[in-house]
């Protein structure tokens, strides 16, 4: 179903760890060329070595999504072209909304919304200039679609990302560029695995209708659907992958 990915170049932002690194492994298994982007180049190079040892074609580019010059340089450095963008770079800010600082608010929105836009815009400009079209998958969250305590800045940034996705899908459809948002629920990564063993984490799992935490592998099918030609008539949607969290009873 995803044979077309063997001819595609995928730029993944925030690829140095977590979901971004997991997405890189998914695309590598399907034969895509990879461009891995993040600020922590040494971690990207470690992942590059691992994937190249498995037979993947991988390049590394330094990227700070909050810096317009860095974004432009990174997007232009990817060769030979960009067919798919997985716009994954982001930060999480936790804390009561009465106490969150202006600087934490600004950092969250600057990375998760402004940065996401800057990268999408730079990639779309290149796709339009080269006449290739392509697919942009913005990584949003179920917190964009339902309120969650202690996540005001993060949720606001992701809600903005989801609505921005719809606006960009409308603006860029004529250029053959599809724009969709993948909205993961609670997904276990190496950074948060310990939390799901705590009483709070176990309680969260218990509140999820499917009674289990998500894995990065649970995102594979939805991600590839939005990225590949299998989803060629899909644009402007939020696709939640959350074990039923959004339909849980109030």
Q: What are phi and psi of 118, to 5 degrees?
A: -60, -45
Catalytic residue among 70, 140, 141, 162: 141
Q: How far apart are CA 207 and CA 193, in angstroms?
A: 18
Catalytic residue among 158, 162, 186, 228: 158
Would you report the helix, strand and coil content of the chain in percent, each value rounded to 5? 50, 15, 35
> Is residue 140 annotated as a catalytic residue, yes or no?
no
> Is residue 8 annotated as a catalytic residue, yes or no?
no
Query: pTM for the whole thing?
Result: 0.96
User: H/E element holding 225?
Assistant: helix 220-227
Give the pLDDT of residue 52.
98
Give the pLDDT of residue 148.
85
> Is residue 186 annotated as a catalytic residue, yes or no?
no
Catalytic residue among 154, 162, 186, 228: 154
| pLDDT per residue of the chain (250 residues) written in tens, 0 to 9 | 788 999 999 999 999 999 999 999 999 999 999 999 999 999 999 999 999 999 999 999 999 999 999 999 999 999 999 999 999 999 988 889 999 999 999 999 999 999 999 999 999 999 999 999 999 999 999 999 999 889 999 999 999 999 999 999 999 999 999 999 999 999 998 767 788 889 988 988 898 999 999 999 999 999 999 999 999 999 999 999 999 989 986 6
Give the pLDDT of residue 250.
60
Q: Which CATH number fits domain 3-239: 3.40.190.10, 3.40.50.720, 2.40.30.20, 3.40.50.740?
A: 3.40.50.720
């Amino acid at each position: 179903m995803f044979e077309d990915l063997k001819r595609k170049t995928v730029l993944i932002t925030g690829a140095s760890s977590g979901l971004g690194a997991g997405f890189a492994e998914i695309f590598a298994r399907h034969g895509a060329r990879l461009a891995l982007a993040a600020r922590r180049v040494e971690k990207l190079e470690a992942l590059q070595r691992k994937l190249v040892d498995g037979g993947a074609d991988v390049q590394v580019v330094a990227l700070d999504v909050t810096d317009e010059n860095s974004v432009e340089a990174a997007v232009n450095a990817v060769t030979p072209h960009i067919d798919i963008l997985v716009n994954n770079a982001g930060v999480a800010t936790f804390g009561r909304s009465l106490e969150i600082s202006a600087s934490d608010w600004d950092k969250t929105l600057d990375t998760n919304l402004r940065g996401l836009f800057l990268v999408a815009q730079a990639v779309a400009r290149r796709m339009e200039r080269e006449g290739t079209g392509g697919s942009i998958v913005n990584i949003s969250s179920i917190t964009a679609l339902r309120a969650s305590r202690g996540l005001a800045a993060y949720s606001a940034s992701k809600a903005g990302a989801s609505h921005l996705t719809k606006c960009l899908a409308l603006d860029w459809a004529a250029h053959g560029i599809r724009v969709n948002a993948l909205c993961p629920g609670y997904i276990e990564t190496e950074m948060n695995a310990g939390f799901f063993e705590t009483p709070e984490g176990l309680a969260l799992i218990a509140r999820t209708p499917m009674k289990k935490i998500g894995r990065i592998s649970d995102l594979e099918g939805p991600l590839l659907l939005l990225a590949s030609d299998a989803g060629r008539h899909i644009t402007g949607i939020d696709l939640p992958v959350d074990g039923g969290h959004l339909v849980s009873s109030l």
